[in-house]
Amino acid sequence: GNKRTPLVAGNWKMHKTPAEAGNFVKLLRESVDQQGGSVEVIVCPPFPALAAVASKLAGSEIGWGAQNMHWEAKGAFTGEVSAPMLQAMGCHYVILGHSERRGHFGENDEVIRKKLTAAITCGLRPIFCLGEDLATREAGQAVEHCRKQLRAGLEGLELNQPLALVVAYEPIWAIGTGKTATAEDAVEVISALRQEIADMYGEEFASIMRILYGGSVSPESISSFMKEEMIDGVLVGGASLDIDKFTAIIQTT
Ligand code: PEP
């Protein structure tokens, strides 16, 4: 195995009320706090449920994050939430660059770069998502596409704390489809991303920074990814909404 602590992150997307979220993390806590620290676990609820989750997780090893934020600290941006607001409520992580944000809300590399910079500056740890669509994979361009997204998102960003950033390789064709990448394909992309990180921030940094796989991870598929030394955990969508599935994934990580 490698020296990086595996991370299991749940992306709840637009699911769960504050009460449902609070009940879920209460159960999650009972299961994870017993397991004792070999895996880092976080959940990323919708904004209205963050406070309930924060309060139920006080004193727990389990962390939590947001699913989005604006790049400005404050201002006339109706409907938006900023990094300092999240930081002030004790938020640890923020998902940025998710393919649903890119696809449904027009977020491009430049927007994602601004958000990554704002999050890091504020002390939030981004989970920076990237990945290719099916046509790009079939054209043999997956690795190059992901390298480009990585470089574009991190351009000009100074980083000296490798645990302050998490990258998640999420092939779009695998998200919410029940199809996973093979562990071999995930390792190919993740190895290329780690090399890119080494070129930008140095070998030592790249050996500590975590890179996750995401896309239809289930209790059945988790072990195929976690047996790979190159893969440092998973970003889980659908299966993270179900306490039995999510705890099974955590226990197998
Ligand atoms: C995700 O939303 O990041 C994700 C990987 O979703 P799912 O596990 O449902 O494919």
pLDDT tens-digit profile of 36-66?
Answer: 778 999 999 999 999 999 999 999 999 999 9
pTM for the predicted model, two decimal places = 0.97
Reduced to 3 states (helix: H, G, I; strand: E, B; else coil), residue 19 is helix
Segment (H or E) for 130: strand 125-130
Min mean pLDDT across 29-33, 39-43, 145-149, 155-159 is at: 29-33
Rounded to the nearest whole angstrom, what is the distance from the C-alpha of residue 75 to the centroid of ligand 1?
A: 32
Q: Is the CB of 96 under 6 A from ligand 1?
A: no
> Does the annotation list 71 as a binding residue?
no
Contacts 24+ apart (CB under 8 A), 200-203: 200/151, 200/154, 201/159, 201/162
Q: Is the CB of 170 under 6 A from ligand 1?
A: yes
Which two tokens mark 131? 């990945």
When pLDDT is cut at 50, 70 and 90, the band that residue 2 belongs to is: low
On the 0-12 / 13-18 / 19+ scale of CB atoms within 10 A, 134 is: middle
On the 0-12 / 13-18 / 19+ scale of CB atoms within 10 A, 219 is: middle
**Mean pLDDT score, 5-34:** 96
Domain ranges, ordered by start, for the chain: 7-252
Q: Which of 98, 107, 132, 196 is catalytic?
A: 98
DSSP character for 167? Answer: E
Q: What pLDDT sits at residue 1?
A: 47
Q: Is the CB of 249 under 6 A from ligand 1?
A: no
pLDDT tens-digit profile of 78-96?
Answer: 999 999 999 999 999 999 9
**Mean pLDDT score, 195-216:** 97
Q: What pLDDT sits at residue 35?
A: 75
On whether the CB atoms of residues 252 and 226 are closer than 8 A, the answer is yes
Rounded to the nearest whole angstrom, what is the distance from the C-alpha of residue 84 to the centroid of ligand 1?
A: 27
98 is catalytic: yes
**Mean pLDDT score, 240-253:** 97
**Residue in 93, 160, 155, 101 with CA at minimum distance from that of residue 122:** 93
DSSP character for 89? Answer: T
pLDDT tens-digit profile of 182-200?
Answer: 999 999 999 999 999 999 9
Segment (H or E) for 55: helix 50-56
170 is catalytic: yes
> Does the annotation list 238 as a binding residue?
yes
CATH-assigned architecture of domain 7-252: Alpha-Beta Barrel (3.20)
DSSP character for 123? Answer: T
Pocket test for ligand 1, best of 128, 216, 240, 249 (most atoms within 8 A of CB): 216
How many angstroms separate the CA atoms of 154 and 20, rounded?
36
Phi, psi of 8 (to 5 degrees): -115, 115
Mean of pLDDT over the chain:
96
